[in-house]
């Protein structure tokens, strides 16, 4: 094949202007492009009012989640009971435990901060809701972690927790005394759910941007006009 | 461009504000490094709790009277499991919240007949033990009323005996119950009872339901837990063994179990669950709840964050 016969590669922009506009791929591309304003996926600038330590805790929470996932993945290598007999396994389990404690500590501070800042203003209700759902999903994930430790804590927590779950009709399908079921929920199902919710939450944060101060005025409005009460 | 949310009036668009340099990636990397170091240091300094599980063999060796009393209770239908209801059996309706009975709605999804599954079936495997085989045959041949009378009498006699010691039980008409309970104890002592309860229907014993139900029907597990302040009325839901933080994020759930009417209710579990579900939905829906969604404006804590923009 000679060079002259090679068709120039069409860019997605070019194809979207032509026949490609009707393809499913082009539709998905447009949808993804429209999720957040141009340049806001990973901006290197933030509004001037983003200048407080309270903003660090959302990122700290995400960082803790990374440590949780990595230490959890290492624990999966040896299996459910490995950490009882391996000093390295016990160390990794300890890292997993403390990263979970840090995760919840930073998440709770992050949530309280967002509450006091009323960060749901300006069409950010779903950002708050997905954050709250991520918190509750994390509670379930941590709880199943305690159930699969295969030690005394697991015995006691599962035999006590079953009563509340059974009373609510949940225990009929979510058996906290079934180790096999709890292992799969903890290492697969719930992390996927929490990961999905967190992803939506982060996309919404990038889409709307960081909520302005409660008494902020619109910088594009006429000078001195106050738009927020 | 402005956007509005109920109760707040229009809120300026975040993207319309002047900006300052902010390195998100650098912030994330530093946070990841700090969290990693903190986790590793905490792991090295504090480690993590790992109190070994109580095996049924340990239970038999440390509290043999409790094993015998529990086995007799399963036969008499007086244990927690025997009278539980859904999802294990139909012995009761379980808990309800007024007319709402969520516990019964799904029915029996994990069938457990405590007398048969936790005691008789395991004891039946002792085919080389003539005494226990004969005892089970006598039990099987008796009427339900007779079985109940034997087992209840033995449960009462054990409760009245010094230290619950089966050797000190007053003589009475207990039928084959003492022999069956003693056989259960021997199975537990030998270490084979766990396997009979968890792997009887599957080579792969990954479902501990029956073994845990039996263990929890005794008093040994609870005694060990209460000794470590893990009882439900000791905030045990959020605690764990040793001097570790446990699950402090469950503090509100644990709180209700400490106060009336929950602490004195027979339906405490469903009542607490219902309350927590309502509160959780409310928490998720704060942005849409009048009064609550504008509360931060009146609290004024936001002024600590945005000091220069009053």
Which of these three, B227, B256, B280, is where a domain ends? B227
Instruction: Looking at the structure, tell me whether residues B128 and B199 fall in a common domain.
Output: yes
pTM, two decimal places: 0.90
The residue from B188, B206, B227 where one domain ends is B227
- For chain A, the structural domain boundaries read 49-117, 123-209
Best CA proximity match to A229, nearest among A211, A216, A212, A210: A216
pLDDT interval class at A2 (50, 70, 90)? very low
How much is the pLDDT for A20? 54
| Residue A8 pLDDT > 70 | no
Each residue's pLDDT, cut to its tens digit, for chain B (310 residues) gives 444 456 787 888 888 899 999 999 999 999 999 999 999 999 999 999 999 999 999 999 999 999 999 999 999 999 999 999 999 999 998 899 988 899 999 999 999 999 999 999 999 999 999 999 999 999 999 999 999 999 999 999 999 999 999 999 999 999 999 999 999 999 999 999 999 999 777 788 899 999 999 999 999 999 999 999 898 888 887 888 988 988 899 999 999 999 999 999 999 999 999 999 999 999 999 999 999 999 999 999 999 998 764 4
Q: What is the per-residue pLDDT across A90-116, written as a single tens digit (0 to 9) for each?
A: 999 999 999 999 999 999 999 999 999
Report the alpha-carbon distance of residue A57 to residue A63 in Å, rounded: 9
Q: Which of A71, A128, A147, A214 to mutate to test the interface with B (most CBs of B within 10 A)?
A: A214
Q: Which residues constitute the domain of residue B290?
A: 2-47+230-304
Separation between Cα atoms, residue A162 and residue B212, nearest integer Å: 11
A14-51 pLDDT, tens digit per residue, is 554 555 568 999 999 999 999 998 888 899 999 999 99
Give me the pLDDT at residue A55, please: 95
Chain A contact for B98, CB < 8 A? no
Number of folded domains that form chain B: 2
Asked if B7 and B133 sit in the same domain, the reply is no
Residues in chain A: 229
Determine the average pLDDT of the residues in A141-160. Answer: 96
The answer to whether residues B96 and B189 belong to one domain is yes
Contact: A47, B17; criterion CB under 8 Å = yes
Q: Is B274 helix (H, G, I), strand (E, B) or coil?
A: helix
Q: Could you tell me if B281 and B162 lie in one domain?
A: no
Domain assignment of residue B213, yes or no: yes
Contact residues, chain A, for B214 at CB < 8 Å: none
Could you tell me if B62 and B143 lie in one domain? yes
For residues B14 and B60, membership in a common domain is answered with: no
Contact (CB, 8 A) for B198 and B118: no
> In the structure encoding, which two tokens stand for residue B32, read together?
């990841």
| Spatial CA neighbour of A210 closest among B27, B294, B13 | B13
Tell me what the pLDDT averaged over chain A comes to: 89
CB of B273 within 8 Å of a chain A CB? The answer is: yes
A 8-67 → B contacts, CB under 8 A:
37, 40, 42-52, 54, 56, 59-60, 62-64, 66-67
ipTM of the complex model = 0.92
Mutate to test the interface with A, among B249, B255, B301 (most CBs of A within 10 A): B249
Q: Which of A40, A118, A212 sits opposite B296 (nearest CB)?
A: A118
- End of a domain among B211, B227, B243? B227
- Are residue B37 and residue B185 in the same domain, yes or no? no
CA B208/CA B212 separation, integer angstroms? 6
Inter-chain touch B11–A212, beta carbons under 8 Å: yes
Query: Are B105 and B134 members of one domain?
Result: yes
Q: pLDDT category, A219, cuts 50, 70, 90?
A: confident
Q: Is residue B310 part of a domain?
A: no
B309 part of a folded domain: no
B103 & B74 share domain: yes
Same domain, B197 and B121: yes
Find the closest chain A residue to B218 by CA distance.
Answer: A159
Angle at alpha carbon of residue B213, lines to B211 and B219, rounded to 5°: 105
pLDDT of B15 reads 86
Does B248 lie in the same domain as B205?
no
Q: Do B16 and A83 touch (CB under 8 A)?
A: no
Does the distance separating the beta carbons of A154 and B284 come in below 8 Å? no
- pLDDT for position A6: 47
Looking at the fold, whether B115 and B183 belong to one and the same domain comes out as: yes
- pLDDT for the residue numbered A222: 53
């Amino acid at each position: 094949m000679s060079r002259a016969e090679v068709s120039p590669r069409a860019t997605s922009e070019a194809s979207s202007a032509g026949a490609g506009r009707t393809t499913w791929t082009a539709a998905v591309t447009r949808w993804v492009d429209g999720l957040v304003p141009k340049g806001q996926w990973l901006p290197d600038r933030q509004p001037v009012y983003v200048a407080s330590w309270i903003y660090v805790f959302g990122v700290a929470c995400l960082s803790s989640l990374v440590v949780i996932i990595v230490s959890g993945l290492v624990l999966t290598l040896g299996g459910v009971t490995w950490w009882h007999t391996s000093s390295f396994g016990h160390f990794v389990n300890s890292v997993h435990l403390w990263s979970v404690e840090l995760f919840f500590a930073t998440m709770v501070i992050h949530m309280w901060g967002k509450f006091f800042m009323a960060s749901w203003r300006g069409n950010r209700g779903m950002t708050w809701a997905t954050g709250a759902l991520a918190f509750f999903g994390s509670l379930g994930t941590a709880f199943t972690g305690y159930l699969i430790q295969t030690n005394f804590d697991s015995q006691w927590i599962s035999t006590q927790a079953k009563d509340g779950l059974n009373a609510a009709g949940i225990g009929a399908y979510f058996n906290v005394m079934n180790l096999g079921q709890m292992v799969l929920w903890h290492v697969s199902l719930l992390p996927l759910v929490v990961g999905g919710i967190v992803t939506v939450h982060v996309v919404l944060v990038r889409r709307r941007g960081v909520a302005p101060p409660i008494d902020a005025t619109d910088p594009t409005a006429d000078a001195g006009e106050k738009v927020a009460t | 461009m402005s956007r509005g949310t109920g109760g707040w009036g229009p809120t300026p668009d975040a993207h319309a504000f002047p900006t300052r340099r902010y390195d998100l990636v650098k912030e994330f990397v530093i946070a990841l490094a700090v969290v990693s170091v903190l986790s590793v240091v905490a792991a090295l300094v504090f480690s993590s709790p790992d109190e070994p599980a109580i095996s049924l063999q340990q239970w038999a060796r440390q509290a043999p009277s409790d094993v015998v009393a529990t086995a007799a209770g399963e036969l008499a239908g007086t244990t927690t499991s025997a009278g539980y209801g859904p999802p294990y059996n139909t012995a009761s309706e379980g808990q309800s919240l007024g007319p709402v009975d969520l516990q019964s709605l799904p029915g029996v999804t994990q069938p457990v007949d405590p007398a048969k599954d936790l005691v008789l079936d395991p004891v039946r495997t002792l085919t080389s033990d003539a005494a226990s085989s004969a005892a089970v045959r006598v039990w099987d041949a008796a009427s339900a009323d007779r079985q109940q009378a034997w087992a209840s009498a033995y449960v009462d006699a054990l409760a009245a005996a010094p230290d619950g010691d089966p050797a000190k039980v007053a003589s009475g008409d207990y039928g084959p119950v003492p022999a069956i309970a003693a056989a259960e104890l021997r199975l537990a002592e030998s270490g084979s009872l766990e396997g009979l309860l968890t792997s009887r229907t599957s080579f792969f014993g990954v479902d501990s339901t029956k073994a845990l139900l039996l263990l929890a029907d005794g008093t040994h597990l609870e005694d060990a837990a209460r000794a470590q302040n893990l009882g439900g009325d000791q905030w045990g839901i959020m605690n764990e063994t040793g001097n570790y933080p446990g699950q402090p994020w469950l503090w509100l759930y644990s709180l209700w179990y400490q106060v009336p009417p929950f602490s004195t209710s027979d339906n405490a579990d469903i009542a607490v669950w219902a309350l927590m579900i309502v509160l959780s939905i409310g928490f998720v829906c704060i942005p849409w709840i009048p009064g609550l969604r504008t509360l931060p404006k009146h609290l004024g804590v936001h002024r600590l964050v945005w000091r220069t923009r009053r």
